[in-house]
Structure formats: structure tokens, C-alpha cells
Amino acid sequence: MYDEVGVNPIQAMSKAEQAEALSEAMLLLGTDLEEIASTLVSAVSEHVSPAMSDYEADTLEHIDRVSRNGMTLAQEVQGAVSTVVTTDAESAELYQGSMNALDIRINF
């Protein structure tokens, strides 16, 4: 269990950037799959190639969906980090203003 409150914005943004990079890498998988499927279709019989084409289309659709979902997630995390930073700054200002308004003197 954590004993801290809040979010480390640097670490959170780093994780969001990593998620974005992974999502972009998923698009490259689609390109690789297209090349592999093309090679396989030319190597197999005409009875198998329609199934290969269907498999390729379905898989590319799934890769695209995963990539888009990953990008959306990364963008939402980045937005959340931005909101947390703004909220923390506003809270700090309110806290400091409240402390100043109390005008408490501390004697040592």
C-alpha cells in the first residue's frame, strides 16, 4: 500500500508516452503481417489462399482496433496527468492562501 497522496506527473507522463509508443508499434505489426501473408499466399495452393486472405483481413482489423484503443488510452492518461498537475497547483495555492490568512505566529 502506498503512503503518498497524488501522482508523480513525470512518471505518469512517461508511462503514457510508453503506451503511445506501443500503440504506434502495433501499426508496424500490421505492415509486417501484410508482408508475411503476401508471401504465404503466393506459396500455398489456390484452395488455401482465400482463407489466408480472410485471416489477414481479420487480424489487421484487430491490430488496428488495439492500436487505436492504445492511442486513446495514452491520450486519456496524458490528459489525466495534466488535470492532476493543474489540480495540485490550484490546491497548493489555496492551501498557501489559507495559511497566510490565518496569520499564525509560531514561537520557538
Window from 2-16, 40-54, 70-84, 87-101 with minimum mean pLDDT: 2-16
Q: What is the pTM of this model?
A: 0.62
Q: How much is the pLDDT for 108?
A: 55
C-alpha dihedral sign at 75, 84, 82, 16: negative
Burial (Cβ within 10 Å: 0-12, 13-18, ≥19) of residue 16: buried
Higher pLDDT, residue 60 or 98? 60
